[in-house]
Structure 1
Amino acid sequence: MSKSLKLIAGVTGMSDAESTGSLPARPEKPARKGSVEERMYHEIYDAIMEHRLPPRTKLTEHSLCEIYATARHTVRKVLSHLAADGMVDLEPNRGAFIASPSTDEAHDMFELRQMLERAVLEKLAGMPDVKTVIAPLRKMVASERQAFLTHDRPKWIRLSAEFHTALAELSGNALLVNMMRRLVSRTTLMIASVEAPGNNACSFDEHEEILDALEQGDAALAQSRMAHHLGACADRVQPDEPGNFDLRSVLGRST
């Protein structure tokens, strides 16, 4: 079995875990008026995606219980859900850590993303109402551009990642969406956070060009632009060094 096929098997194996919890399957940002469980999940998810919690940060159950004034079983449920989404690695006898994929794993994940996103674009380009279908993504890219222009880097990072999951959602394939969400989450963790977007990987300009090709119904052009885009993302992969980090400096601040 090839590395990519093994990775597919690993990704699909997580789908059952995602469907068992009470948390929403898709990591969106709701109003912070829900349960402690929901708020904890979304705050940790956002902090990871926005690079406010670095890779290999340990998520200690005791600290999270104190930060959110909740029971240990609630913390464990949230950590399991984050692990199912690829954001957290659960290590036996050691605890939960912010995911830090190896360079080899990142290579395999980007290879798999190339295949999956190519298939998504082919399906979308063949839709007779593709212009209407991708209209919400135009608004997302506009928000991504605005976040960059207003120097809201955390929001820009999150929107850049969500663009790819949103594309997959338009395909109507729930399994594909789950796979893409996990892959996008883990690969986003690997992209160097010190580089400015500009015309580099995950830029709003490249996203706009992909949508332009889709609107023209040109699957080959859209795929070519996506391949270049993801290749640039892969070139920016820089694993972070592990280190100690104070969870209280980032989490639970909306309490």
Structure 2
Amino acid sequence: MSKNLKLIASASEGHEGGEGDEGNERKPARKGSVEERMYHEIYDAIMEHRLPPRTKLTEQSLCEIYATARHTVRKVLSRLAADGMVDLEPNRGAFIASPSTDEAHDMFELRQMLERAVLDKLAARPDVKTVIAPLRRMVATERQAFLSHERPRWIRLSAEFHTALAELSGNALLVTMMRRLVSRTTLMIASVEAPGHNACSFDEHDEILDALEAGDAALAQAHMAHHLGACADRVQPDEPGNFDLRSVLGQGGGHTR
């Protein structure tokens, strides 16, 4: 079972996690290591908009916060860069990714094509109801997080739904591409929803699953197109800010996996 699908299975019990870096050829760090804690704390802080785009991730600061060596910090930054969360700039360092408006448009256009293909493949499966059952539980947890005003958890689950859906296609390359696209587009969705936009992504996710369960690929694709279009409409550029990494990271509040 893939990592995200394991996360879906545990989501109904209230345990959620980041998307990790499967598909890369690196050997994963041991569970509970400083590397894993740093990776997940930074990943979560980015996804939850606690670290805004263009925030600099200074190696020395991270070494001090996590009491670790530079080679560990560099491994974490490389993982985050592979996920599309961090941009590594020669002679300047690591910065939280800040995709341009044009890049955001291109990424959402590519997501439309890839997710359309995923839905077409899944709708044709005779066991589709069974394979999407874990996603039903994930959406239920997403809904509860929203209703409980747990915005960070809701943001994370909303993003993970799309990667988990792609995993059901069985295409590892597609999953790797989707993980990066989902991460980078989530960075650009406004922290405060624009007036008039429906923030309830779980309702749209359920509509997609309803259509899949009925074997109606065209309807599932129509729901997905509407859903991604609404997400693209909420993209707003963030103003860079100067952040003290210590105020956000290394407080022992990171999620354990």
TM-based fold match above 0.5: yes
TM superposition shift of 1:50: 1.0
- Within 1, Cα distance between the matches of 2:86 and 2:24? 13
Aligned length: 233
TM-score in terms of structure 1 length: 0.87
Partner in structure 1 of residue 201 of structure 2: 203
One-letter amino acid of the structure 2 residue matched with residue 93 of structure 1: N
Q: List 4+ stretches of structure 1 deviating above 6 A.
A: 196-199
Partner in structure 2 of residue 6 of structure 1: none
**Given the alignment, which residue of 69, 87, 98 partners 1:100?**
98
One-letter amino acid of the structure 2 residue matched with residue 251 of structure 1: L
Quick one: higher RCO (CA 8 Å, sep 6+), 1 or 2? 2
User: What is the correspondence of 1:115-194 to structure 2 with a 5 Å cutoff?
Assistant: 115-194=113-192
TM-score in terms of structure 2 length: 0.87
One-letter amino acid of the structure 2 residue matched with residue 83 of structure 1: A
Partner in structure 2 of residue 20 of structure 1: 26
- Within 1, Cα distance between the matches of 2:32 and 2:196? 36
TM superposition shift of 1:17: 8.8
Partner in structure 1 of residue 61 of structure 2: 63
Partner in structure 1 of residue 243 of structure 2: 245
8 Å Cα contact 2:122/2:128 also seen in 1: yes
SS at match of 1:252: coil
Partner in structure 1 of residue 216 of structure 2: 218
8 Å Cα contact 2:23/2:176 also seen in 1: no
- Within 1, Cα distance between the matches of 2:117 and 2:190? 27
Partner in structure 2 of residue 5 of structure 1: none
- Within 1, Cα distance between the matches of 2:71 and 2:138? 36
**Please, what is the CA RMSD of the aligned residues?**
2.0
User: Structure 2: which 5+ residue stretches go unaligned?
Assistant: 1-20
- Within 2, Cα distance between the matches of 1:202 and 1:75? 36
SS at match of 1:141: helix
TM superposition shift of 1:200: 2.3
- Within 2, Cα distance between the matches of 1:37 and 1:166? 24
